[in-house]
Structure 1
């Protein structure tokens, strides 16, 4: 019989048609949204802390714990000082050098004018000597000569300074530089060697007329304390 296959058997009710009800999705409350935002920020903060932990630990070890109860030869700068935003550097050939180019290495800095008197020459020689004394760690340290006038160092001096490797010879405005580096009371800016960390923070000043062996001891400690996060060369 036509249509008999779709008919319900005798004595049984026809099946009801299926129906679907669509419910709207629950909307998160304002409190839920704030909680999610806060949770995201906390996770980001934890990631940043994890990245910074090696640096913090090395400085804590050096500044606070100080194994063996030893004292520093140089003066720690606390808090450390980043270079001024308007610090402009210029190479000997006149090319502009971005301060950020110096990041990534420990810097051993001397300051003087281009004529470079006997004290300046002594510091430049000591820079070279200290870097060589560091042995296999020397590639983590760069030498920097900040020249505080518009002159050009004598060719013979430049060749002597670079005899054991390149040196950053950079002209800089003395007034701007004085907002970053500072001498001890009663001393001139050029009387000291300065140590700048790989993040560009001035963090130590050596005494006037320093003893190389004492300076090296401080450098050894700094390099050892930062060995977990600092590597030779720039990224």
Structure 2
């Protein structure tokens, strides 16, 4: 059989490299979705997953644009305060913070993301609480319609009643029940961290 010409050999080499790189990710997703969480997850698995839109118009709290792709590379426990942040909203933000800390040595693999619709205002005290701690949340603004075009509440509920989990490739893949039970969410997160320990490393 004749040798492959250089262009063909290069393509085969590229595909082999991609396959080797993707294998741990594929295996971890199989273990997470099929072997570990299917039928056991407390939260709702989103199937198929929904990609973070590259065109999502994000800004920081000072109004500077933030590229959506900059959120890739880390698990994101996401909260959307879909109206004025009242006691229920503050309770969800506290839960978001505590869930990350409850992961112990795996907490650095998970970031807290707060997506604030453009028609919602947080108080200075709330912003300070989100951004001034040792592991501050990433707080970004976006048009409400754009957020709701990506993340969705369960039927009969509001966005602000849930936490949303986004994987390191920017795919929304899990939604907690409304007004979730922290210990049950923690179990989902722990299963996920175990399933992805082979390839997922802290930091973007």
Whether these two folds match at TM > 0.5 is yes
| Alignment partners' CA distance in 2, 1:207 and 1:143 | 18
1:53 counterpart (3, 18, 23): 23
* Cross-structure match for 2:179: 209
Q: Cα distance, 1:216 vs. partner?
A: 0.7
State the TM-score, normalized to the length of structure 2. 0.90
Q: Which has the higher contact order (CA 8 A, sep 6+)?
A: 2
2:135 counterpart (156, 165, 170): 165
Query: Where do 5+ consecutive residues of structure 1 fail to align?
Result: 1-31
Q: Cα distance, 1:200 vs. partner?
A: 0.8
After superposition, the CA RMSD in angstroms is 2.1
Q: Cα distance, 1:119 vs. partner?
A: 2.1
| Alignment partners' CA distance in 2, 1:155 and 1:89 | 20
Does the 8 A contact of 1:128 with 1:164 survive in 2?
no
Does the 8 A contact of 1:191 with 1:208 survive in 2?
yes
State the SS of the aligned residue for 1:66: helix
State the SS of the aligned residue for 1:112: coil
2:76 counterpart (99, 107, 121): 107
State the TM-score, normalized to the length of structure 1. 0.79
Matched pairs, number: 201
| Alignment partners' CA distance in 2, 1:156 and 1:179 | 29
Inter-CA distance 189–151: structure 2 relative to 1 (3 Å threshold)? closer
Runs of 4+ in 1 over 4 A off after TM superposition: 37-40
Query: Where do 5+ consecutive residues of structure 2 fail to align?
Result: none
Highest CA radius of gyration, 1 or 2? 1
1:145 paired to 2:143 = no
